[in-house]
Amino acid sequence: MAEKKISDKKLRMAVGAKGLKLMIAGLVVMVAGFFLLAGGGSSDPQVFNFAMFDFRRLVAAPFVIVAGIVVEIVAIMGRFGEE
């Protein structure tokens, strides 16, 4: 039976260290966006709370979440010269 040759090439991850740091940063940004979305509810179902329609929940939080997704895409698709 033929013996398998083990190559001396160093195994590399598909995403380098800088990309991994960017992925973690993107995840943190997305979690922050979801925290911005939280709240605005009411303990009494008969009372309507207009706080769920404020700027933070309608504009800022979705913008922060999309920014986190963009950071994730850059982290995955970007080349950072780690060859």
pLDDT at 30: 98
What is the spatial distance between Cα 56 and Cα 63, in angstroms, rounded to a whole number?
10
pLDDT at 62: 96
Q: For 19-32, what is the mean pLDDT?
A: 96
pTM of the model: 0.77
Higher pLDDT, 5 or 78: 78
Q: What stretch of H or E contains 29?
A: helix 17-37
pLDDT at 58: 93
pLDDT at 69: 98
**Average pLDDT of the residues of the chain:** 86
What is the spatial distance between Cα 65 and Cα 53, in angstroms, rounded to a whole number?
17
Higher pLDDT, 62 or 53: 62
Q: What are phi and psi of 18, to 5 degrees?
A: -65, -40
Q: Amino acid identity, residue 6?
A: I
Q: Which two tokens stand for residue 77?
A: 């698709």
What is the spatial distance between Cα 27 and Cα 22, in angstroms, rounded to a whole number?
9
